[in-house]
Structure 1
Amino acid sequence: MPGHIDLHTHSSVSDGTQTPTQLIRAAAAVGIGTVALTDHDSTAGWQEAAAAVRGTGMTLVPGIELSAQLDYASVHVLGYLFDPGDADLISETARIRAERLSRAEAMVQRIAADYALAWEDVLAQTVPGATVGRPHIADALVAKGHVPTRSAAFESILHWKGGYYRPHYAPEPVDAVRLIAAAGGVPVIAHAGARGPAGLLNDRRMRVLVDAGLFGLEVYHRDNPPAARKRLLEMAMRFGLAVTGSSDYHGVGKVNALAENTTEPEVLEALLARGTGSDPVHG
């Protein structure tokens, strides 16, 4: 499996701007050999991505980015090679998506009191079956001319201090790790050095996550500053965890570029050996 290894990307099934097919084509164009599709709380893009990867020479690692909440911060858990038919995981992701939807509707109602914005404007920025969330509200705000970019929306109107924010349900990280592991999957904490989770993932909590089945930490990510990367590397060594690197690519939804951070081949080999719930797709 030659080529770059990028284990964190998003399609329009969640908050990316490309379909799974377009994502696979973009990954092939920049020389990626192995790509993981990790849409938020959804596996709906797996089948299309699997079909798109055939004949490319690439490998697709089916995955997800499961929303979790620790104290006041979002701590997302990447899951790879789990059984998409696992009843407990299906139930939890359905609940998360439903909560995201009701939260998004409530936020739009609040925003509409001050800006010309309707729920239909948000739906116009999604594809059928997509997990609707703040990124789609941001895209609607851009389309209506209220902000210039998605990032600008998150820095102003959609910021948690902006007055329109609403929280939504998400399990604790340890429960997300257990769910993925119980479904035969491989759990990795995403961008663990980002503002928010960085100060919460101490050794005590990390031990609980490891005991629950945690496989690794996503260290090489643009949201992890150098000091956080150093701390995460030390933590990974103490707890015997794998270290991954990924782009967290969203198409034009974020500045993140495919393969801007990558994972080492030996880590990928260990991940593929550990996952038992589903198989990688070789193109």
Structure 2
Amino acid sequence: MKIDLHCHSRASDGTLTPTELVIRALNQQIDLLALTDHDSVEGLAEARAAAEGSPLRVISGVEVSTRWHSFDIHVVGLDFDSEDPELRALLHRQADQRRRRAETIAEKLTKRQITGTLEDALGYADGGSVGRSHFARVLVDRGIVAAKQAAFDKYLGRGQSAYVPNQWCTIAEAVTRIQGAGGLAVLAHPSKYQLSNKWLRKLLVEFKAAGGDAMEAIHCQQNLQQRQFLQALALEYDLLISAGSDFHFPSRWVELGRGLTRPEQPGVWHQRGWV
């Protein structure tokens, strides 16, 4: 069975519609897909409808943004009731925070003589949750920077002139709401936070103490040593493992399902009986 338990559509900061994402997953011969948009489950109904009658099974997913010390940490929810009222209320608050943050980012860019960015960023979001990546696209398309990463390095990243700190929920609240809706709470892409070994272990201790179920130990952009390190940490902290590409858009480097080989180590797929 080929799986991918972390990907994004235009309901957040992906570039494909949920339907286009499902078609791509089918072309990649994926059997099980979790659509995990940032703080949104609005793309799930379309994705499930697109997969109906096909070999692809789409399960509910979401990637909840949280605040931990001075870091933005993401918690993926898998296989939950997407209509759960308390989870919906949390995601609504997160969406409100995203909009307020976007307005402040636009104000800061205006002070740098870059005007009208909020309207353009909302246009790129196309009704989905708006984020810094949409502002990065605006800056690239206007020719202000050459690439998205340059937008973060010069304007949107921590310490830069248009950076706005977030007010996301806590890890504990994200875990509680995901599990309250019947889902599994997964620490997303732990290697992407660029934490020292000491801080990564501190994060795992606190995530486990909050009741977290699993961590993403398998990505498509890992070498064998990185994958083995994360799998060993999952065993050490008694966490299941999960696997996801974190696909946002077609590229040479990230593809749905690519390299997500599952080891025998206990994973979310065993816990839920998916394999």
TM > 0.5:
yes
- The total of aligned residue pairs comes to 270
Q: Which residue of 1 aligns with 2:122?
A: 123
Structure-to-structure mapping, 1:160-175, within 5 angstroms: 160-175=158-173
Deviation of residue 228 (structure 1)? 5.4
Q: Provide Cα deviations, 1:103-150, integer angstroms capped at 9, x if missing partner.
A: 11111111122243312222221212x111101111111222212332
Tell which deviates more after alignment, 178-187 or 212-221.
212-221
Q: Structure 1 residues 224 and 192 mapped into 2: Cα distance closer, same or farther (>3 Å)?
A: farther
Deviation of residue 159 (structure 1)? 1.5
* Aligned residues of 1:77 and 1:189 also touching (Cα < 8 A): yes
Deviation of residue 261 (structure 1)? 3.8
Deviation of residue 245 (structure 1)? 2.1
Query: Are 2:62 and 1:64 aligned?
Result: yes
In 1, the alpha carbon distance for the partners of 2:174 and 2:222 equals: 21
- The RMSD of aligned alpha carbons is 2.4
Structure-to-structure mapping, 1:16-165, within 5 angstroms: 16-118=14-116, 119-128=118-127, 130-165=128-163
* Aligned residues of 2:75 and 2:171 also touching (Cα < 8 A): yes
Deviation of residue 22 (structure 1)? 0.4
Deviation of residue 271 (structure 1)? 4.2
Amino acid at match of 2:20: Q
Deviation of residue 230 (structure 1)? 4.2
- Provide the secondary structure at the position in 1 that maps to 2:31: strand
Deviation of residue 240 (structure 1)? 2.6
Q: Which residue of 2 aligns with 1:277?
A: none
Q: Structure 1 residues 223 and 31 mapped into 2: Cα distance closer, same or farther (>3 Å)?
A: closer
Amino acid at match of 2:204: M
In 2, the alpha carbon distance for the partners of 1:89 and 1:198 equals: 32
Amino acid at match of 1:144: R
Tell which deviates more after alignment, 131-140 or 191-200.
191-200
- Provide the secondary structure at the position in 2 that maps to 1:194: helix
Tell which deviates more after alignment, 6-15 or 115-124.
115-124
Structure 1 runs not aligned, ≥5 long = 274-279
Structure 2 runs not aligned, ≥5 long = none
Q: Provide Cα deviations, 1:43-85, integer angstroms capped at 9, x if missing partner.
A: 1001000001112211112100011111011110000111222
Deviation of residue 13 (structure 1)? 0.2
Amino acid at match of 2:122: L
In 1, the alpha carbon distance for the partners of 2:85 and 2:78 equals: 16
Determine which structure has greater relative contact order: mean sequence separation of CA pairs < 8 Å that are 6+ residues apart, divided by chain length: 1
The TM-score normalised by the length of structure 1 is 0.86
Percent identity between matched residues is 32
- Provide the secondary structure at the position in 2 that maps to 1:25: helix
Q: Structure 1 residues 177 and 198 mapped into 2: Cα distance closer, same or farther (>3 Å)?
A: farther
In 1, the alpha carbon distance for the partners of 2:75 and 2:42 equals: 18
Amino acid at match of 2:125: T
Q: Provide Cα deviations, 1:7-62, integer angstroms capped at 9, x if missing partner.
A: 10000000000000000111111221211100000110010000011122111121
Q: Which residue of 1 aligns with 2:232?
A: 234
Deviation of residue 154 (structure 1)? 2.1
Q: Which residue of 2 aligns with 1:183?
A: 181
Amino acid at match of 2:121: V
Q: Which residue of 2 aligns with 1:270?
A: 270
